[in-house]
Amino acid sequence: MANEVRSGGCVCGEVRYTTPDNPLRVTVCHCLWCQRRTGTAFGTEAVFAEHDVVFTGEKPARYRHHSDESGRWLDVEFCGRCGTNLGFTLEAVPGVRTVAAGTFDDPGWLDGVAVPLRHVYARSRRHWGDITADVEVFDQHFRR
């Protein structure tokens, strides 16, 4: 497994990337910004050294956001054709790039990586993302 190259990309396939095996860390971010930019309960970011992520297809489109709290920029990256969220770079932590964990060709590989996994901004965590004892759970869709 060591030094295995991992690949991923957007839904339509125009933006492709490779990363080394393993990320520096995986961060699940429950902040309001991540909720809005992903349209769901949290962002899940595999964090790599910026130069270790190599785009092999179209370059991703970018949008510069300034944090309401710090005023610092975050450049979100996404496919300009299909809109898939691909991750971001940020002024606060130079030299790293996040890769949206669900965009790997095999997102399951992150299940077993021995790197720090952290949940941050839990103050705005949405409980509708939790699988608790009192919710209905199906291995596939309930319509099946």
The helix/strand/coil state of 83 is coil
Q: Closest separation between CB of residue 63 and Zn ion, Å?
A: 15
Q: Which of 26, 28, 79, 101 is in the footprint of Zn ion by CB under 5 A?
A: 79
Q: Which of 10, 47, 76, 86 is in the footprint of Zn ion by CB under 5 A?
A: 10
Residue in 45, 142, 55, 52 with CA at minimum distance from that of residue 102: 45
Lookup: tokens for 88 = 């971001």
Q: Closest separation between CB of residue 33 and Zn ion, Å?
A: 5
101 contributes a contact to Zn ion by CB under 5 A: no
Q: Which of 17, 23, 28, 34 is in the footprint of Zn ion by CB under 5 A?
A: 34
Q: Rounded to whole angstroms, how far apart are CA atoms 144 and 124? A: 33
105, 7 Cβ separation under 8 angstroms: yes
3 backbone φψ class: left, alpha, beta (φ>0; ψ -120 to 50): left
Q: Rounded to whole angstroms, how far apart are CA atoms 96 and 110? A: 18
Q: Closest separation between CB of residue 30 and Zn ion, Å?
A: 7
Pick between residue 34 and residue 46 the one whose CB is nearest to Zn ion. Answer: 34
Q: Closest separation between CB of residue 29 and Zn ion, Å?
A: 3
The number of residues in the chain equals 144
Among 27-35, 62-70, 86-94, 122-130, which window interacts with Zn ion (CB under 5 A)?
27-35
Interface residue list for Zn ion (CB under 5 A): 10, 12, 14, 29, 31, 34, 79, 81-82
